[in-house]
Amino acid sequence: MSTNVVMPQMGESVTEGTITTWFKQTGEWIDKDESLLLISTDKVDAEVPSPASGYLQKVLFPEGETVEIDTVIAVLSAEKTAATEAPESPSATPQKKAQEERVQAPVTSAAPSGNPDSSLEELRKTRSSPLVRKMAAEHNTDLRAISGTGISGRVTKSDFLNHLKNLKDQPAASTSRPAPSGRYAYQPAPTDRIEPFSPMRGQIADHMVISRETSVHVTTVFEIDMTRVARLRASHKEAYQKQGAKLSFMPFIINAVTDAIAQFPIMNSAVVDRSIAYRQNVNIAMAVAVDWGLLVPVIRDANEKSLLGLARNVADVAERARNRKISPDELQGGTFTVTNPGVFGSLFGTPIINQPQVAILCVGTITKRPVVIEDDAIAVRQMMYLALSFDHRVVDGATADRFMKTIKDKLENFPAELL
C-alpha cells in the first residue's frame, strides 16, 4: 500500500512552494507526523510532516524545485519494495521529464496542437508563478520577453521587477540625456562563495525596494523613560507566568501604540491611488528575527485585547515563527508594524515601511543611564528610543510627532490597573 505526499497549501494566497530540504533519503523509514521536508514560499518557510508511516519510495521533485500546490511530490510505501531500494533519480521521473519538456519546448511547437493560445498559456505557467503572471497582466507585459533566472528558466518576481526598472531607466525618444547610472555589477572573485537568494530573502529584497520607491520615508525619534513600565513588569511578571503568559516590554508598547492609533487613525491607513483608506481593524504586525531571515506575524484586533491577551499573543506568535509553525495567513493583513532591534542592543533605527502600511515603529534597547529629572536632580532611569518611519505623502510631521508624544505619555505614566 502506498501513500502520496502532496505539496500542501500554506495559506489562502499561496499557490506554490519551493522544496528546500528533504529530511529523508529514498528507502528510509519515516513515522507519521515526523518532518519529511522543508518548503519555502514567498512568505514563510515550513516543515511538512509525513502523512503516514512508511518507507520513502520515490522523490518526484528534487531540492530547489518550485511546485504548485496539490501536486504529488513523493510516494511512501508500507513495504520496502525493489523500487524503494533502487528508486529513479528525481530528474528522471515521468513528471519531471514532462515538466522539463514543457519548459524547453519552443513557442512554435504549439501549432500542431490546434489551440495555440492554450499551449502558449501552458508554457507561460511553466515559466512563472501566479503572482508574476498577475503582475504581467496588470502591466500588459508578455513574459516571453523576459529571461528567467529561476529554476528551469522560470521568470521570478525579481526578474519581472528588474524588467520594469530597465524599461523605466531607458531614456525617452525625445531626449538625448543618458540613462541614469548607479547600479554597479560586482564581478565575483574565484574565491567567493556564491549563494542564491532563498525565496524569503528574495521576497524581502523585492518588498524593501518597492517600499522605498512607493513611500516618501521620513523618520522621527523620541526618547522614552521606561522606568515605570520596567517596575510594573518586574512586579507582575511572575503572576503573568502563572497564567501562561510571558510579560515582556512589547505588550506595553503595543498597548500604547493602539491607544495612539485611536487618536490618530491616519497612522492605521493605506494609500489607494490618490485617496486614503482608513482601516477599521487595528492589526499590529510584529517583526520577528529568525535564523533564516525575518517574519512579521500579525496580532489581529490588538486594540481590543487586554495587556494579558497581548502578552499571550506576542509570546505565541514569536515562538511559532521561530519554530516554523506560523502559517502564511498569519503574516498578512497588518495595518501597522512594530520592529524591535533593541533586543540585539540597537539604540534605534530608521526602518523601511511595510507596504501597504504608512508607518512602522522601531523599538530601541532599554538601558539604565543618569537623567536629569525634576528640580534638576540626577537619577538613574531606564531609557529607550522609539523611532517612527512614516509616509510623508499622507502623514505630516506634526501628526507623527503628536502620535509619538501620545505613546510616550502612555508609557511613562502607564496605568497600574491595566495589569
Q: Please, which contacts does 353-357 make with residues 24 or more away whose CB atoms are closer than 8 Å?
A: 353/211, 353/215, 353/217, 353/389, 353/390, 353/391, 354/207, 354/211, 354/285, 354/296, 355/207, 355/210, 355/211, 355/214, 355/215, 356/270, 356/271, 357/270, 357/285
Please indicate, yes or no, whether residues 255 and 295 belong to a single structural domain of this protein.
yes
pLDDT-derived band at 91 (thresholds 50, 70, 90) equals: very low
The CATH number of the domain holding residue 341 is 3.30.559.10
Domain boundary, last residue among 100, 120, 145? 100
13 and 81 share one domain? yes
Among the listed residues 31, 139, 169, 392, the single catalytic one is 392
Contact 220, 400 (CB under 8 A): yes
Residues 231 and 298 in one domain: yes
Per-residue pLDDT at 161: 83
Inside any domain, residue 179: no
208/259 same-domain check: no
Quickly state the pLDDT bin for 156 (edges 50, 70, 90). Answer: confident
DSSP state for residue 385 in the 8-state scheme: E
pLDDT value of residue 99 = 42
Q: 222-279 pLDDT, tens per residue?
A: 999 999 999 999 999 999 999 989 999 999 999 999 999 999 999 999 999 889 999 9
Among 290-304, 353-367, 402-416, which stretch is predicted with the lowest mean pLDDT? 290-304
**261 and 330 fall within a common domain:** yes
User: What band does 324 get if pLDDT is binned at 50, 70 and 90?
Assistant: confident
**What pLDDT is stored for residue 198 in this prediction?**
78
Q: DSSP of 33-97, one letter per residue?
A: TSEEEEEE-SS-EEEEE-SS-EEEEEE-S-TT-EEETT-EEEEEESS--HHHHSPPPGGGSHHHH
Tell me: cis bond preceding 356? Omega within 30 of 0 counts.
Answer: yes
List, for residues 326-357, the tens digit of each pLDDT value. Answer: 887 888 899 999 999 999 999 999 999 999 99
The pLDDT > 90 percentage for the chain reads 53
Identify residue 379 by its one-letter amino acid code: A
> What pLDDT, on the 0 to 100 scale, is given for residue 383?
98
Which residue, of 152, 187, 214, is where some domain finishes? Answer: 214
Q: With contact defined as beta carbons under 8 Å apart, do 326 and 297 qualify?
A: yes
In terms of domains, do 225 and 133 share one? no
Give every CB contact of residue 271 below 8 A, 6+ residues apart in sequence. 277, 356, 358, 391, 393, 394
**Residue 203 and residue 72 share a domain:** no
Mean pLDDT of 43-71: 88
Q: What is the pLDDT of residue 155?
A: 78
Closest by Cα among 94, 95, 96, 87 to 2: 87
Return the pLDDT at 395: 97
Q: Examine the pLDDT at 50 and tell me if it is beyond 80.
A: yes
What mean pLDDT is reported for the chain? 83
With respect to residue 191, please indicate whether it lies within any of the assigned structural domains.
no
Regarding whether 251 and 205 lie in a shared domain, the answer is: no
Please report the pLDDT score of residue 8 as a whole number.
Answer: 86
Confidence of residue 126 (pLDDT cuts 50, 70, 90): very low
Q: State the CATH number of the domain containing residue 6.
A: 2.40.50.100
Same domain, 387 and 289: yes
H/E stretch holding 142: none
Q: Is the backbone of residue 382 left (phi > 0), alpha (psi -120 to 50) or beta?
A: beta
Secondary structure E strands in 104-202: none
Specify the higher pLDDT residue, 379 or 204. Answer: 379
Report whether pLDDT(107) > 60.
Answer: no
Question: How far apart, in whole angstroms, are the C-alpha atoms of residue 269 and residue 278?
Answer: 5
Per the structure, the complete domain to which residue 152 belongs is given by: 105-169+196-214
| 244 and 292 co-located in one domain | yes
Residue 392 located in a structural domain? yes
Instruction: Specify the range with the lowest mean pLDDT, choosing from 185-194, 208-217, 250-259.
Output: 185-194
Question: What is the tally of structural domains in the chain?
Answer: 3
Helix 157-169 / helix 130-138 crossing angle, nearest 10 deg: 20
Domain boundary among 214, 242, 270: 214
Q: Which of 142, 396, 401, 409 is catalytic?
A: 396
Annotation marks residue 392 as catalytic: yes
Q: According to the model, what pLDDT value does residue 187 have?
A: 86
Of the two residues 376 and 202, the one the predictor is more confident about is 376
Cell triple for residue 300?
A: 489581529
In the chain, count H helices and then E strands. Answer: 10, 19
158 within a domain of the structure (yes/no): yes
Q: Are residues 206 and 348 in the same domain?
A: no
Q: Decide if 188 is inside a domain.
A: no
The 8-class DSSP code of residue 197 comes to P
Q: Which range is most confident: 7-16, 199-208, 291-300?
A: 291-300
Range with lowest mean pLDDT among 62-66, 220-224, 378-382: 62-66
The verdict on whether 396 is a catalytic residue reads: yes
**Are 367 and 386 members of one domain?**
yes
Q: Domain for residue 19, yes or no?
A: yes
The three three-digit cell numbers of residue 191, written as one number: 574565491
Q: Determine which of 82-96, 143-157, 355-369 has the lowest per-residue pLDDT on average.
A: 82-96
Give a yes or no: residue 110 inside a domain: yes
pLDDT over 80 at 148, yes or no: no
Domain presence at residue 147 = yes
Cell triple for residue 242? 502563572
